[in-house]
Chain A
Amino acid sequence: MKKISASGFLALSTFAAHAEYQQINLTVFGMDCAPCAHAIHVSMKGIQGVNAVDVDLNTGLVSIKLAPGNNAIMRQFNEAVEKNGFTHKDANVIVRGQLSGSAQAPFLEVTGTKDHYALTPLTGGVDISGLLGKAVVVDAVLPQSGKGKVSDTLRYKSVTEAK
């Protein structure tokens, strides 16, 4: 019985914290050789919740897939690049979170983490006011930031209600 209660609690708590990064495609400058890519691969795989990592040396693209329920934060991915002596550029992210703020100044809060972003449209205005207060999935560009920092703005391509 205890086991059933414990697993039920675990399932519920995982469910409650299921806002998270789902996919991150990060452009990295400075990797010239196989050990560079291997170092990035090892560092990214060391982040809790990362399922799969692919590194393309010729494009500098690092593709990261994350497990549902993870609570990884964006700073960890940037740090993994910085500690290997490389530079992170723009990232494409698919992230799940809670939409808050107002229609003029919407915010995405990645629950389970302290990450939160102001949302601005990548192209023409899209009305997302109807999704305020709801759990959403955002497909967006996270602009390049300085060393040790994470941009506080996501430039979204799409915002859809999470299922």
Chain B
Amino acid sequence: MRYPMVLACAVFVTCTAFAADHGPVFSYATPVNSEREFSFDTGMVGRNGSRGTQFSTGSGFGYGVTPHLTVNAVLPALFGSGSLPESRIVTGTEWSAGASWRFLHSVTSVGKRIESTASLGLVVPGPQQDSGVLAGLHRAPGVAGTLATGMASRSHYVWLGGSYTRFAAASHDRRPDTLSWSAVYGYRPSHLRRGYDQWDYRGFAELTGEHTGAVLSGGVMLPNSSSTTVWLGPSVLAIFKNIAIEGGVQGPLFRDVSESVYGRERVRFAINFSYLKYSSHTSSH
């Protein structure tokens, strides 16, 4: 009964904010696609700790249904066998699909926007098994809701975002609920505020945090399986017209994680490539 409810929620409302496209690489941000614009993302994120290294490659696409509503899907694949806590900021093995709605959009001056975007999506287990504590769990779909708000301009970018992911239970197992949040500041120096037919560079400082609940296994909450971490690091975005390349690295600022369960995660890194396909369609008379 729970599965149909979860599915219905995700289908009838809307998706997860995939931290990619042409913005910060780890954090939540507000931009959505233009109407009839396709976006294609592919990249790699990595997590390294004392129990090993995980790489996940993510491929995603988005389509702008309206100027403020984008549907999207992300299909990651996992490599490596690190025993690391659940994370929704660094994608794992779950496939996700949903939609993002930019419900607040205030254009205040040349180059400046204040906006807020809500996303809701369905997260389903991919064909791959997890590693570590999560490896043996029966997996079930989940729902992810995300809210991001902030400001974009020719010089400064500020975004705040938060997300909550709740998984359904399967055979007395359940992946942990995850609360994720991020704050990001971006800056484009004056000498880089150039024409659109030249490379466009931006630097970001990205602060992200996550709290994962306890893992339910066989009807029992695994002791010390919850975690709280905060990460900080720089990222750089380079864009030429409709092609974007972004990369970043983060180190831990705060960790409340059982090292006996998860080991000691040391570093996260990501690189992403985006291609944006715009539509030239306009209405006829």
Contact = CB atoms under 8 A, between A and B. Distances in A.
A82 B109 CA distance: 15
B105 A57 contact: no
B110 A59 contact: yes
B188 to A, nearest CB: 8
B34 A33 contact: no
A79 B109 contact: no
Instruction: Report, as a range, how many residues of chain A touch the other chain.
Output: 35 or more
A30 B113 CA distance: 5
A149 interface: no
A29 B278 contact: no
Given A27-B110, A56-B195, A85-B105, A35 B285 contact: no
Interface string B229-267: 000000000011110100000000000000000000000
A18 B187 CA distance: 47
A115 to B, nearest CB: 10
Contacts of A31: 110-111
A80 to B, nearest CB: 5
A76 interface: yes
B51 interface: no
A56 B110 CA distance: 10
Chain B: interface secondary structure?
A: loop
Contacts of A43: 34, 278-280, 282
B41 to A, nearest CB: 13
A114 B284 CA distance: 12
B102 A39 contact: no
A31 B154 CA distance: 8
Contacts of B68: 85
A46 B280 contact: yes
Given A43-B280, A47-B282, A76-B283, A29 B110 contact: yes
Interface string B99-130: 00010010111111100000000000000000
Contacts of B195: 56-57
B32 interface: yes
B107 to A, nearest CB: 4
Given A46-B282, A83-B34, A34 B152 contact: no
Contacts of A29: 107-112
7 contacts: A33-B202, A34-B196, A38-B278, A57-B195, A80-B282, A85-B32, A85-B105
Given A47-B282, A57-B193, 12 more contacts: A29-B107, A29-B112, A30-B107, A31-B110, A32-B113, A42-B278, A42-B279, A42-B280, A58-B154, A76-B283, A84-B67, A85-B32
Q: Name the 7 nearest CB pairs between A and B, nearest first.
A: A46-B280, A37-B196, A60-B110, A83-B35, A30-B107, A34-B200, A85-B67
